[in-house]
C-alpha cells in the first residue's frame, strides 16, 4: 500500500492567500474574483507615504471574502477543550503524560451536539490537539494519541465521533490544531533546528491504506511537515471543516529553541483541502480580539492595519490590545508599521468556566455574565467563541448544559420580535424599506459619505429599549458615527449614539422610550453607508 501511495499524482500547490480572494459581484463597481491586487479586495497594501486621506480611502475599499461573510453570520460559536488535561487537571500539558490517563468512559458526543444545538450554536471547534501534543484521533504520525490509551481498546476516535455528531445535529465542524507541541519537542522534532525543505504530504507510512489521491509538495521544517501530515489527516478523513483554529504559542520550551512555524505551507494545504474553512487567530481570516474575556472594543473595526510576518502570518500592526485598531487616527498612526489594511474581523473567545479545560472545583458563569459578554461581543461587530469543556466522563456537565439553554432563552428575551420589521420607511438616498425587510442581503443606501437619515413610522406609539443596527458588509465597513432619535412630544430627541456598526451593533437604552417615529442619522462614514438593518426591540427580561 505504501508503494502505491507514492504513485499517486502530485497536486500542484497554489499560494495560500490567493485562495482568500473575494468572489463577490460588488454593486459599487468592484470586480469579481480578479487576480490580486484587484480592488476592492480583502487586503490592500499601504505605505508610510500614504496621505491620511489616501489611507482612509484604502480602508473604505477593503471587502470581506465570502468565507468571512459566512463566518461572521454564525454570531455565536462553541469551543470544546478536551484532552489529557481533562484528566490531569492541568491547563497546559507537559507532552510526557501517560496516554492511559485518557479514559472518557461515558463519552457521548451526541449529548454535546444536542446541548450546543439547543443553545443556538451553529459551529463547534474541538481541541483535536492542544499544546501537549496528544491527539484525539488515531494519527499515523504520533503515539501520543487516543490509540495509545486502553480506552475503547485503543480504537477510540473522539474526532470522528465529534464530527459525526455535530453534522447529524446541523452544527458545522471546526478544529483546533495547536502549533505548540510539547510531545514533539520531547521527541526532538519540534524546534530541532532543521532547515525548511520540500516535503511530500502526506508522508506515506507502513501499511498505509489511504486512497485520497491528492499529494502536495510543500516547504517545511521537520516539525512543519509533522503538522502538515496531521492537518492532511484531519482535513481529508473527517468530512468538511469550516474553521481551523491556530494560536501562536511556542509552548514551554527553552527560549533559545524556537520553532518558526511554516504558516504559508499550512495555509496552502488548508485552502486546498478545506476551501470553506476560516483560518482563525494565527490566520488570515479571523483575528483574536486581544483578550480571553470574550469582550470586544466598543468600536470594533473589521478593517484593521496589519503587518505581514514571516511565512505569511498576519499580525496586528498596532499592539494587539490597543484600544483603537481601526479609526482614522489608528490608520494614520499605523502607516509606519503596517504592510496592509485587511478585512480581519474579531473573534471573542472566553470559557464558560474559569479554565479552558474541565476542573471539578469550577462552576459555569451566570446567565447575567454570559449575556453581558454576548452584548459586548456579538453586539459589537464580533463573533463570540464560547468554550464549554467536557468533563472526565466525556459529557458536558449538567450545570453547563442548563446554562446554555438559559443563555439562549435570555438572548431571545433580550431581543424578541423586531418592532421595526415592515414599518413605513422613508429616507434620503435609496431603498429605505430594505433596512426593515429582515433580509441581511438588502440595504438602505445613504446618499453620501457622512450623511443620511432613515425615518420609520411604526404606526403606533411603541416602547423600545434595544436597537440593533447592521451594515451590509459586502460593501465593506463604512459607518463611523450614528445617532438614533425618537420623536417625543413633537420634537426629535437623541436616545442613543454610537461609533462603528459593522456586521451588527446592539445599543441598550438605559430605560424604555415610547415613540411612534424613530430615525437613524448617519453622522460619520467613509463611503456612503449601506444599512441592512435598523431594528427596534422591547426586551422581555
Q: Which of 50, 349, 391, 480 binds ligand FUL (CB under 6 A)?
A: 349
Integer Cα distance of 406 and 402 in angstroms: 6
Which one, 80 or 225, has the nearer CB to ligand FUL? 80
Judged by beta carbon, residue 249 or residue 399, the one nearer ligand FUL is 249
**Euclidean distance between CA atoms 350 and 370, whole angstroms:** 10
Q: What dihedral do alpha carbons 367, 370, 372, 378 form, nearest 10°? A: -130
Q: What grid cell was written down for 516?
A: 411612534
Residue spans of beta strands (DSSP E) within 202-337: 215-220, 243-246, 278-281, 287-288, 303-308, 314-316
* Least spacing, CB of residue 393 vs ligand FUL, in Å: 21
- Would you give the end-to-end CA distance of the chain in angstroms? 63
Q: What gap in Å lies between CA 185 and CA 251, rounded to an integer?
A: 9
Strands 243-246 and 172-177: parallel
Number of residues that bind ligand FUL (CB under 6 A): 5
For ligand FUL, the closer CB: 184 or 525? 184
DSSP state of 491: E
Q: Rank residues 27 and 249 by Cβ distance to ligand FUL and give the closer one.
A: 249
Instruction: Report in angstroms how near the CB of residue 93 gets to ligand FUL at its nearest.
Output: 10
**Least distance CB 92 / ligand FUL (angstroms):** 6
Give 334 or 396: the residue with its C-beta nearer to ligand FUL.
396
CA-CA distance, 109 to 125, in Å (whole number)?
A: 13
DSSP state of 41: B
Q: Cβ of residue 127: shortest distance to ligand FUL, in angstroms?
A: 7
Three-class DSSP category at 331: helix
Residue with Cβ nearer ligand FUL (152 or 309): 309
- The grid coordinates of residue 115 equal 446541548
Shortest spacing between CB 268 and ligand FUL, in angstroms: 23
Please report whether residue 249 would count as binding ligand FUL according to CB under 6 A.
yes
Name which of 277 and 513 has its Cβ closer to ligand FUL: 277
Cβ atoms of residues 364 and 332 within 8 Å = no
Q: How far is the CB of 291 from ligand FUL (least distance, A)?
A: 11
- With respect to ligand FUL, which residue has the nearer C-beta, 41 or 356? 356
Nearest CB to ligand FUL, comparing residues 356 and 537: 356
Query: Binding to ligand FUL (CB under 6 A): which residues in 130-149?
Result: none
Q: How far is the CB of 162 from ligand FUL (least distance, A)?
A: 16
- Name residues contacting ligand FUL, limited to 89-108 (CB under 6 A): 91
Q: How far apart are CA 1 and CA 8, in angstroms?
A: 11
Place of cell 517545511: 220
Cβ-based nearer residue to ligand FUL, 386 or 415:
386
Shortest-Cβ-distance residue relative to ligand FUL:
247
Show contacts with ligand FUL in window 26-65 (CB under 6 A). Answer: none
* 356 forms part of the interface with ligand FUL (CB under 6 A): yes
How are beta strands 76-80 and 382-387 bridged, if at all? parallel
Give min distance, CB of 349 to ligand FUL, in A.
5
Nearer of residues 180 and 189 to ligand FUL, judged by Cβ = 180
Q: Cβ closer to ligand FUL: 97 or 349?
A: 349
CA 271/CA 277 separation, integer angstroms: 8
- 3 state SS of 125: strand
> Distance between CA atoms of 156 and 169, rounded to whole angstroms?
21
The residue from 164, 247, 418, 428 that contacts ligand FUL (CB under 6 A) is 247
Cis peptide, bond prior to residue 40, ω within 30 of zero: yes
Distance in Å, CB of 180 to ligand FUL, minimum? 8
* Residue 254 phi, psi (nearest 5): -55, 145
Q: How far is the CB of 318 from ligand FUL (least distance, A)?
A: 20
CB of 453 to ligand FUL, least distance (A): 43
DSSP category for residue 276: T
Closer by beta carbon to ligand FUL, 218 or else 350 = 350
- Rg for the chain, CA atoms, rounded: 24
- Per the structure block, which three cell numbers stand in for 270? 488548508
Q: Is the peptide bond before 37 cis (omega within 30 degrees of 0)?
A: yes
CA atoms within 13 A on the CB side of 523: 13
Shortest separation between residue 277's beta carbon and ligand FUL, angstroms: 18
Cβ atoms of residues 230 and 141 within 8 Å:
yes
* Residue with Cβ nearer ligand FUL (101 or 203): 101
Separation between Cα atoms, residue 387 and residue 355, nearest integer Å: 9
CA atoms within 13 A on the CB side of 315: 14
Residue of 323, 328, 322 lying closest to 299 (CA atoms)? 323
Nearest distance, CB of residue 85 and ligand FUL, angstroms:
8
**Distance in angstroms (rounded) separating the CA atoms of residues 155 and 195:** 36
Whole-number minimum distance, CB 59 to ligand FUL, in Å?
A: 29
State yes or no: residue 300 binds ligand FUL (CB under 6 A). Answer: no
Contact flags string 188-227 toward ligand FUL, x per CB under 6 A: ----------------------------------------
Catalog residues that contact ligand FUL under the rule CB under 6 A: 91, 247, 249, 349, 356
Amino acid at each position: 500500500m505504501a508503494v502505491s501511495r507514492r504513485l499517486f499524482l502530485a497536486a500542484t500547490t497554489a499560494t495560500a492567500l490567493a485562495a482568500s480572494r473575494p468572489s463577490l459581484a460588488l454593486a459599487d463597481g468592484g470586480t469579481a474574483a480578479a487576480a490580486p491586487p484587484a480592488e476592492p479586495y480583502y487586503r490592500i497594501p499601504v505605505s508610510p507615504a500614504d496621505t491620511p486621506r489616501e489611507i482612509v480611502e484604502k480602508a473604505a475599499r477593503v471587502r470581506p471574502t465570502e468565507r468571512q461573510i459566512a463566518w461572521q453570520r454564525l454570531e455565536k460559536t462553541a469551543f470544546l477543550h478536551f484532552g489529557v488535561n481533562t484528566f490531569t487537571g492541568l491547563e497546559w500539558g507537559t507532552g510526557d503524560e501517560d496516554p492511559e490517563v485518557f479514559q472518557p468512559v461515558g463519552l457521548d458526543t451526541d449529548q454535546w451536539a444536542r446541548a450546543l444545538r439547543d443553545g443556538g450554536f451553529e459551529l463547534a471547534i474541538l481541541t483535536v490537539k492542544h499544546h501537549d501534543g496528544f491527539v484525539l484521533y488515531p494519527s499515523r504520525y504520533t503515539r501520543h494519541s487516543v490509540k495509545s490509551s486502553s480506552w475503547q481498546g485503543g480504537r477510540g476516535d473522539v474526532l470522528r465521533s465529534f464530527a459525526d455528531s455535530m453534522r447529524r445535529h446541523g452544527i458545522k465542524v471546526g478544529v483546533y490544531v495547536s502549533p505548540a507541541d510539547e510531545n514533539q519537542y520531547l521527541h526532538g522534532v519540534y524546534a530541532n533546528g532543521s532547515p525548511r525543505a520540500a516535503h511530500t504530504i502526506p508522508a506515506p507510512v507502513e501499511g498505509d491504506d489511504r486512497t485520497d489521491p491528492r499529494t502536495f509538495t510543500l516547504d517545511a521544517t521537520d516539525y512543519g511537515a509533522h503538522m502538515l501530515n496531521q492537518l492532511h489527516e484531519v482535513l481529508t478523513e473527517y468530512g468538511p471543516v469550516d474553521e481551523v483554529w491556530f494560536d501562536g504559542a511556542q509552548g514551554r520550551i527553552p527560549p533559545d529553541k524556537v520553532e518558526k512555524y511554516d504558516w504559508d505551507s499550512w495555509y496552502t494545504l488548508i485552502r486546498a483541502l478545506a476551501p470553506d474553512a476560516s483560518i482563525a487567530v494565527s490566520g488570515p481570516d479571523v483575528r483574536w480580539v486581544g483578550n480571553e474575556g470574550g469582550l470586544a472594543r466598543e468600536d470594533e473595526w473589521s478593517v484593521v492595519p496589519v503587518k505581514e510576518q514571516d511565512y505569511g502570518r498576519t499580525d496586528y500592526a498596532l499592539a494587539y490590545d490597543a484600544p483603537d485598531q481601526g479609526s482614522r487616527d489608528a490608520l494614520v498612526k499605523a502607516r509606519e508599521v503596517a504592510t496592509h489594511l485587511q478585512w480581519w474581523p474579531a473573534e471573542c473567545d472566553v470559557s464558560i468556566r474559569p479554565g479552558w479545560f474541565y476542573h471539578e472545583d469550577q462552576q459555569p458563569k451566570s446567565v447575567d455574565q454570559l449575556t453581558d459578554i454576548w452584548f459586548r461581543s456579538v453586539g459589537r461587530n464580533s463573533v463570540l467563541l464560547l468554550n464549554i469543556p467536557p468533563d472526565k466522563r466525556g459529557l458536558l456537565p449538567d450545570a453547563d448544559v442548563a446554562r446554555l439553554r438559559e443563555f439562549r432563552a435570555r438572548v431571545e428575551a433580550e431581543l424578541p420580535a423586531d418592532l421595526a420589521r415592515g414599518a413605513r420607511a422613508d429616507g434620503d438616498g435609496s431603498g429605505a424599506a430594505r433596512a426593515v425587510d429582515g433580509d441581511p442581503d438588502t440595504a438602505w443606501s445613504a446618499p453620501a459619505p457622512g450623511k443620511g437619515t432613515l425615518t420609520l413610522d411604526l404606526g403606533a406609539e411603541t416602547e423600545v429599549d434595544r436597537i440593533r443596527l447592521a451594515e451590509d458588509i459586502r460593501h465593506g465597513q463604512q459607518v463611523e458615527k450614528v445617532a438614533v432619535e425618537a420623536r417625543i412630544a413633537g420634537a426629535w430627541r437623541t436616545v442613543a449614539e454610537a461609533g462603528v456598526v459593522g456586521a451588527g451593533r446592539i445599543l441598550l437604552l438605559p430605560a424604555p422610550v415610547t415613540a411612534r417615529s424613530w430615525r437613524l442619522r448617519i453622522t460619520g462614514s467613509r463611503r456612503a453607508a449601506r444599512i441592512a438593518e435598523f431594528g427596534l426591540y422591547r426586551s422581555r427580561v
